[in-house]
């Protein structure tokens, strides 16, 4: 799936998330939870969290930070294209209305243990382990039984890993992050539009978004492909988890097997994370 399609999917998921009452536009909270205990997250809330996870990984890839840097230094750039200059000027004004980098880092650390604020107080440092465990379990579920391992045992492993990940996210009681997520999604798309301005690409003698980021960050450029792959495939895994939620805590009802898309996403997320899928 292309990045643009992934972002469009993320926007749809955020639009479908449970409605929340108006709040301070700079409040950084999670979406509304249902009930209490191990099955507290609504499926549409989990899907919205998947969209936020994609945004979190793209943040690690330098989006929208690169657009913010260019907007901040726009008067120092010898731009010859009026459209690119206007785009940077508009984005400079837009950034004042959205979460700044510190606020985004705080949100992503609290949700997923990602970003510059990861490891600080309130950071969800166990999320990555839980997501990796689910990815491994999904892959094992699709394998033929080995060494006497039964189908029931592998299905139980998937259920356990899914419950652990759901409980991990349900323990993030920060209120309404969907409103923040919708703003983040808009801001991200605007940043990408700026970075894809033809005049700006010509100014830096590059042909696309990723070469531009690599040139801007130089030796400090992050592994862009790895972050994009983690974000896109983590989104798919959390969509699968959302589909399972209605059955997750009914032990007498077997979980449907993970979709082919979720199985592929599990393998790709593990590889992008430097974890070799079990052979």
Distance, first Cα to last Cα, the chain:
25
Across the range 195-214, mean pLDDT stands at 95
Residue 20: is its pLDDT beyond 70? no
Segments of the chain assigned E as strands: none
> Which range is least confidently modeled, 31-35, 54-58, 160-164?
31-35
Q: Are 71 and 88 in contact (CB under 8 A)?
A: yes
Residue 181: is its pLDDT beyond 60? yes
Residue 168: is its pLDDT beyond 50? yes
pTM (predicted TM-score): 0.89
CA-to-CA separations, 135 to 139, 158, 160, in angstroms, rounded: 6, 9, 12
Q: Are 180 and 28 in contact (CB under 8 A)?
A: yes
Residue 209: is its pLDDT beyond 90? yes
Residue 105: is its pLDDT beyond 70? yes
Residue 178: is its pLDDT beyond 50? yes
Banded pLDDT at 25 (limits 50, 70, 90) = very low
Q: Can you give the length of the chain in residues?
A: 279
Residue 3 is predicted with a pLDDT of: 86
CA-to-CA separations, 257 to 8, 55, 143, 154, 272, in angstroms, rounded: 26, 27, 12, 10, 23
Q: What are the φ/ψ torsions at residue 32 (nearest 5 degrees)? A: -60, 140
Share of the chain above pLDDT 70, in %: 87
């Amino acid at each position: 799936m292309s990045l643009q399609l992934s972002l469009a999917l993320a926007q749809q998921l955020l639009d479908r998330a449970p409605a929340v009452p108006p709040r301070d536009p700079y409040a950084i909270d999670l979406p509304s939870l249902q009930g209490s205990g191990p099955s507290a997250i609504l499926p549409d809330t989990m899907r919205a969290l998947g969209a936020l996870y994609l945004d979190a990984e793209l943040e690690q890839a330098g989006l929208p930070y690169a657009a913010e840097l260019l907007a901040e230094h726009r008067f120092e750039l010898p731009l010859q294209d009026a459209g690119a200059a206007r785009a940077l000027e508009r984005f400079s004004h837009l950034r004042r209305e959205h979460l700044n980098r510190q606020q985004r880092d705080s949100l992503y650390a609290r949700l997923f243990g990602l970003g510059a604020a990861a490891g600080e107080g309130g950071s969800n440092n166990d999320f990555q382990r839980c997501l990796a465990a689910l990815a491994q379990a999904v892959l094992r579920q699709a394998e033929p039984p080995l060494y006497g391992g039964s189908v029931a045992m592998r299905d139980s492993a998937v259920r356990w890993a899914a419950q652990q990940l759901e409980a991990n996210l349900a323990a993030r009681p920060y209120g309404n992050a969907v409103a923040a997520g919708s703003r983040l999604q808009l801001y991200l798309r605007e940043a990408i539009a700026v970075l894809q301005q033809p005049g700006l690409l010509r100014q830096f003698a590059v042909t696309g978004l990723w070469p531009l980021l690599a040139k801007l960050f130089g030796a400090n450029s992050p592994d862009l492909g790895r972050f994009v792959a983690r974000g896109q495939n983590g989104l798919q895994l959390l969509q699968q988890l959302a589909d399972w939620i209605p059955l997750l805590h009914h032990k007498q009802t077997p979980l449907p097997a993970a979709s082919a898309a979720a199985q592929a996403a599990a393998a790709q997320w593990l590889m992008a994370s430097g974890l070799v899928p079990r052979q």
